């Protein structure tokens, strides 16, 4: 259950941060990245929910204290300061997500969740590369 919570909360945080980016950024690359985060993480949450049901595990999307603090930092930022803060947070969160999924795919207990981690990890690594290229 802690794996599904961390994965689901991470997606919820990224979707919320991306919605903020759509409202606050004027950079075309940031806006495009934000839209992809909404699309991909909405899909990831849906497939995680299905895998969790198969594994008979609940999915808790409650944000962590750190995720809430990061969203507050984004709300307080403006202009290029927002873009810099957003890009930095997206690199950090995708590094953590890649480590989480990599670890679970190797040693997780529930087969449906291991498969989800294995299938989702390449997308997270792609997001990480994209986040590192943000302005």
What are the distances in angstroms from CA 20 to CA 38, 77, 127?
Answer: 11, 11, 18
The verdict on pTM exceeding 0.85 is: yes
> What's the chain's average pLDDT?
96
SS3 string of 27-96? CHHHHHHHHHHHHHHHHHHHHHHHHHHHCCCCCCCCCCHHHHHHHHHHHHCCHHHHHHHHHHHHHHHHHH
Say what the pLDDT of residue 123 is: 97
Q: How far apart are CA 104 and CA 86, in angstroms?
A: 27
d(CA 92, CA 131): 9
pLDDT, tens digit, 9 for 90 and up, residues 94-134: 999 999 999 999 999 999 999 999 999 999 999 999 999 99
């Amino acid at each position: 259950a802690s794996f599904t919570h961390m994965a689901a909360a991470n997606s919820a945080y990224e979707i919320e941060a991306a919605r903020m980016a759509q409202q606050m950024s004027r950079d075309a690359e940031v806006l495009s990245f934000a839209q992809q985060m909404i699309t991909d993480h909405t899909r990831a949450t849906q497939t995680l929910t299905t895998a969790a049901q198969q594994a008979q595990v609940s999915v808790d999307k409650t944000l962590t204290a750190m995720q809430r603090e990061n969203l507050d930092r984004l709300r307080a930022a403006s202009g290029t300061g927002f873009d810099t803060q957003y890009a930095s947070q997206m690199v950090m969160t995708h590094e953590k997500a890649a480590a989480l999924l990599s670890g679970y795919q190797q040693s997780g207990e529930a087969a449906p969740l291991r498969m989800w981690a294995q299938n989702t990890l390449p997308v997270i690594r792609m997001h990480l590369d994209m986040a590192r290229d943000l302005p």
